[in-house]
Structure 1
Amino acid sequence: MSDKMSLKQKIELLDDKIEWFYSDEFDLAKAEEKYKESTELAKEIEKDLSELKNKIEVLAEDFSK
């Protein structure tokens, strides 16, 4: 789904999904589905951040030599 999105786009999408819970559009029947979508997206973001952190650590190690 969001594999082709940038990290920034994923974070913005997650923000939009979270805002839905506080909006007038909130519907209890849809809340479970929206929650699952949000948690999956959050996991993707966490994975992307972890990969980015690893890349930065490798670069920092290369520069410290």
Structure 2
Amino acid sequence: MELNLKIDGMGCEHCVKSVREALETVKGIKILDVKIGSAEIEAENNGVLSEIKEKLDDVGYDLVR
């Protein structure tokens, strides 16, 4: 299933890189695209959202959904 994540706190390409690196640590997802304010991923189910939220919190961004 494809998920389009809205992410607050991103304002530049450095933010995009930080978010991409954080998402790369989440097992069971494939990153399709990351841009300022959002990310598109592919996941087996939306059960990974809590781990994604935690990883993004760790690097200073907020998962809105």
Q: TM-score if structure 1 supplies the norm length?
A: 0.34
- More helix, by proportion: 1
Q: Flag the structure with more relative contact order, 1 or 2, with Cα contacts below 8 A and sequence separation at least 6.
A: 2
- More strand, by proportion: 2
